[in-house]
Chains A and B, each alone.
Chain A
Amino acid sequence: MTGLTSAASHGAHSDEQGSSSRHPGLNLHQHDPQAHDAAEELLFGFWIFLMSDLVIFSMLFATYGTMLNSLAGGPGPHQLFDLGSTAIETVVLLTSSLSFGMATLSMKYDASARKTGLWIFVTLLLGLVFLGFEIHDFSEMISKGGFPSRSGYLSSFFALVGTHGLHVTVGCIWLVVMLVQLRVFGLDSCVKTRILRLGLFWHFLDIIWVGIFSFVYLLGLAP
Chain B
Amino acid sequence: MTSFLFGKLSYGAFPFYSLIATFAASIVVIGAIGVAGFITRIRGWPALWSKWLTSLDHKRIGIMYIVVSFVMLARAIVEAVLMRAQQVVGYRSSGFLPPEHFAQLFTTHGTIMIFFMAMPFLIGLYNFAMPLQIGARDVSYPLLNSISLAFTASGAALMMISLCLGKFSTGGWSGYPPYTELQFSPDVGVDYWIWALTLSSIGNTMTGINFAVTIYKKRAPGMYLFRMPLFSWTALCVSILMIFAMPPLTVATLMLALDRYADMHFFTNGQGGNMMNYINMFWLFGHPEVYILILPAFGVYSETIATFSSKTLYGYTSLVWASVSIAVLSFTVWVHHFFTMGQSGDINAVFGIATMLIAIPTGVKIYDWMLTMYRGRIRMSVPMLYASAFMILFAVGGGAGVLMANPGFDYQVHNTLFLVAHFHNMLIPGLLFGMLSGYHYWFPKAFGFRLHEKWGRAIFWLWSIGFVFAFMPLYALGMLGMPRRSQEYFEPVYLPYTIVAMIGALLITGALICMVIQLVVSVRERHATNVFVGDPWDGRTLEWSVSAPPPEYNFATLPKFDDRDAFYVDKCNGHAYHAPDTYEPITLPANSPLGPVTCMTMVATGFALTWHIWWLAVLGILVFAGGVIARSFNRHTEQTISADEVRDIETRWLKAVHETSPVPVEAEFSNLNRGRAAGALK
Contacts and interface: CB of A to CB of B under 8 A. Distances in A.
15 contacts: A1-B638, A8-B218, A12-B216, A45-B210, A55-B247, A72-B270, A151-B271, A152-B265, A153-B272, A155-B255, A155-B259, A155-B272, A156-B266, A158-B264, A159-B255
Interface of A: 1-5, 7-12, 40-41, 44-45, 48-49, 51-53, 55-56, 59-60, 63, 66-67, 70-72, 74, 148-153, 155-156, 158-159, 173, 177, 181, 184-185, 190, 194
A152 B274 contact: yes
B656 interface: no
Given A70-B273, A151-B271, A190 B635 contact: yes
Contacts of B246: 52
Contact of A44 (B216, B266, B277): B216
A12 B272 contact: no
Given A40-B217, A156-B266, A181 B632 contact: yes
B305 interface: no
Nearest to B134: A8
A63 to B, nearest CB: 6
Given A12-B217, A70-B273, A52 B558 contact: no
Q: Is the interface of A mostly helix, strand, loop or mixed?
A: helix
A55 B244 contact: yes
A48 B272 contact: no
B273 A152 contact: yes
B341 interface: no
Among A3, A9, A40, A184, residue most surrounded by chain B Cβ atoms (within 10 Å): A3
B110 interface: no
Contact of A45 (B209, B220, B271): B209
A186 B60 CA distance: 35
A204 to B, nearest CB: 15
Contacts of B212: 48
Contacts of A60: 251
Contacts of A150: 271
A1 B137 contact: yes
Interface stretch (B435-443, B499-507, B523-531, B582-590): B582-590
A59 B281 contact: yes
A66 B633 CA distance: 44
A149 to B, nearest CB: 4
User: For the side of the interface on B, what is the size category?
Assistant: 35 or more
B30 to A, nearest CB: 40
A155 B136 contact: no
Nearest to B216: A44
A59 B255 CA distance: 11
Nearest to B141: A45
A148 B262 contact: yes
A141 to B, nearest CB: 15
Contacts of B589: 1
Given A44-B213, A149-B263, A4 B271 contact: no
Contact of A71 (B136, B222, B272): B272
Nearest to B585: A3
Interface string B261-293: 011111010111110010001001000000000
B134 to A, nearest CB: 9
Contacts of B48: none
Contacts of A45: 140-141, 209-210, 213
Contacts of A181: 632-633
Contact of A56 (B219, B222, B251): B251
Give me the 6 closest cross-chain CB pairs, A-B, nearest first: A70-B272, A152-B272, A11-B221, A155-B264, A72-B272, A149-B263
Contact of A51 (B217, B243, B263, B271): B243
